[in-house]
Amino acid sequence: MNFSPSLADVLQSADLLIAAAIAEDIGSGDATSLAIFPPHAMARATILAKEPGVVAGLPVAKAVFAKADPHVVFTPSLTDGAHVKSMDVMVNLEGKLVSLLSLERIVLNFLQHLSGIATLSSEFVRAVQGTNAVILDSRKTTPGYRALEKYAVRIGGAQNHRRGLYDMLMVKDNHIQAVKSISLAVRRARQSYPDLPLEVEVDSLEHLKEALSLPVDRILLDNMDLATIHQAVMLGNNRVPLEVSGGVTLENVRQIAETGVNYISVGALTHSAPGLDISLEIIS
């Protein structure tokens, strides 16, 4: 039931984003760098971690240079998924000084954002270590960045939920409200798309009881407090995998996991992860 973008998916999505980033940031040229430096001046630089975290996005960073100036030599000193500390060298660069300076912000924007997601994902995974709960992301992604952000989640050790509205049936509160029946919504969904996995969202124990009688693959417990989640797990009795969503934080995720739920989805992994502090430094 989970979508995991391959590196090929990521780079295909990144290609359009990289082109757009170059167009919006560099435009007709980096006026400052072009004014100060000869066009063929060469330089070396490093990309450094400025705080501890998990690295994600190095293939995307390499693709930025390859697209804008394929003569830049991009030599990573580690791989995606590596844990870094402050001042660790992530990449060594060599090429035209103007290229290095012009592409600095574009490269760092990708690396900081994706590494921030990977770092936060790893913190949630570490928080539930020793339980059976799996940390999932959601569709709360930056438009156009979904494959990249879900890739970064996976690099951080969490797993991916559905890719979009087309690869999994998810009967949510508004679907149920519109037809006034969980059973009717599930029946129509299952009849129309019998081969797709189906998850149904419930917000009470009464709705959970109804959902447990239906042909569903997973049940989402939406915005339930800890005591109600405990009751839901006992009521479910391992008949259907249970997922928790809503109000999940690093402070309470361990308690949620210890109830015995199977999955915990966290929208914050992608919509609220702070960027990892990374810099590009010219060294000669």
User: Mind telling me the catalytic residues?
Assistant: 105, 140, 172, 201, 222
Burial 240-271 (b: 16+ CB within 10 A, else e): bbbbbbeebeeeebbebbbbbbbbbbbbbbbe
Sort strands 73-76 and 42-49 into parallel, antiparallel or unpaired. Answer: unpaired
Query: What sign does the dihedral 183-189-191-197 (CA atoms) show?
Result: negative
State the Cα–Cα distance between residues 86 and 88, nearest whole angstrom: 6
- Residues 6+ positions from 192 with CB-CB distance below 8 Å: none
Query: What sign does the dihedral 254-259-261-265 (CA atoms) show?
Result: negative
User: Is residue 90 a contact partner of residue 62, using CB atoms and an 8 Å limit?
Assistant: no
Start-end of H helices in 7-73: 7-25, 31-36, 58-68
